[in-house]
Amino acid sequence: MGAYIVRRLLLIIPTLIGIMIINFALVQFLPGGPVEQAIADIQGQGDVFGGFAGGEQDGAVTGNEGDSGYIGSQGLPPEFIAELEAQFGLDKPPLERFLTMLGNYATFDFGESYFRKIDVMDLVLEKMPVSITLGIWTMLLSYLVSIPLGIRKAVKDGSSFDTWTSGIIIAAYAIPAFLFGIMLLVLFAGGSYWQIFPLRGLTSDGWEDMTVIGKVLDYLWHIVLPVTALSIGGFATLTILTKNSFLDEIKKQYVMTARAKGLTERKVLYGHVFRNGMLIVIAGFPGVFVSVFFTGSLLIETIFSLDGLGRLFFEAAIGRDYPVMFATLYLTTLIGLIVALIGDLTYVLIDPRIDFEKRSG
C-alpha cells in the first residue's frame, strides 16, 4: 500500500503542472488583461470589459489601442505602459513567467495580489474559513440524511415510502442551489414573509462581546439558510446513489446465502451489504468535496454575502488578478487530488480485500 501512496503522490506533480499549463495558456489569449484593467481604473472606467460592448464610453478605453496594443492605451506614454508591464511581470516572455510561477508555487509562494496589495496566501487564508464552514456543514448534513434515507429506500423499494420520498428527491434535484437560496431568503430572511434568519454574513454585530454559548448559537443561526441551500442538490444525488448501490448489492447471491443461513435482516444489511454498498458512495466523495467547497459555493456566497474562496476566485478572474486566480486554482486542484487519494485509502478501510498495489501491477 505504501508504494501505491507514493506513486499517487508523485502523480500529483505532473497533474498539477498540466492543469496550470492549460489555464496559463488560455489566459494568454483572453482580452482585458491586468494592464488594460489598470488603465481602465486610472481613467475612471472601473471595468475594462466595458470596452468590448462595441459602444463609445466617453474615453480612450473603448476599443482604442495605442502603439502598445493594449485596449485604452492610446495617448499614454510608452514609458508608463512599460512601467505597468514591469509591475505585473508582463515584461518577460510567457515561458519564463510560467516557470517562475511554478518554482514559487512549489514553495507555496503565491506573491502579492495585483490590485489588493496583499499577500495572496494571507488573502486565501482569510477567505478559507468561510468556505470550510459551508463545506463541512453541508457535507455533514448531506451524508447524515442521505445515507440512512438511501438505505431505507433500498430496503423499502417499491413501497409507498419509496415513492413519495423519490418525488421529494426529484423535486429537490431539479431546483438549482442558488434558486433555492433565493427562495429561502424570500421566505425566511425578511424578503416578503418571515424574518426568522439573518440576511447575510456568518456572525452578528457585536459577536466578539457575546458569551461562548451565544457565539455558537449566533453562528449556527447564520449558517442555516446557506447550508440548507447548498445541501439540497447534493442531498438528492447522494440519496439516489446510496439507494441504487444498496439495491444492487441486496439482489446479489451472497445476500441470499446469508439469509438462508438464518441471519437477521439487520445483520445481513449492516454486516455484509453495507461494506460493499458504501464503496460507490465513497468513490464520489472527492467530487462532492471539491464541488461543495470551491465550485458550488460561489453563487451561495454571493447570494448570502459570504466572502469565501468561490467568490474570491470569481472576482479575481473578472478583475484579471492573476496571482489570486492561479493561486486559488493551484490550491483547490491540490486539495482535490489529495482528497481523491484519501478516498482510495478509505476504500481499503471499508473493504480490506481491495488491493490497489496488485491492480497497479
The CATH number of whichever domain residue 247 belongs to comes to 1.10.3720.10
Torsional sign, CA 306, 311, 315, 320: positive
**Same structural domain, 332 and 188:** yes
Residue 8 has pLDDT above 80, yes or no: yes
Number of domains in the chain: 2
Residue 59 has pLDDT above 50, yes or no: no
> Which is nearest to 178 in space by CA: 285, 286, 295?
295
H or E element, residue 173: helix 160-174
In a domain, 80, yes or no: yes
**Tens digits of residue pLDDT in 154-197:** 888 888 998 998 888 888 878 877 788 888 888 887 766 787 88
Confidence of residue 26 (pLDDT cuts 50, 70, 90): confident
Residue 323 has pLDDT above 80, yes or no: yes
Residue 264 has pLDDT above 70, yes or no: yes
In a domain, 259, yes or no: yes
**Same structural domain, 38 and 131:** no
**Tens digits of residue pLDDT in 326-354:** 998 898 888 888 887 877 777 777 666 66
Give the rounded percent of residues in the chain with a pLDDT score beyond 90. Answer: 4
pTM: 0.72
In a domain, 209, yes or no: yes
Q: Which domain holds residue 148?
A: 121-360
**Same structural domain, 252 and 329:** yes
238 neighbors 143 (Cβ within 8 angstroms): yes
Question: What is each CA distance from 85 to 35, 43, 127, in whole angstroms?
Answer: 7, 17, 28
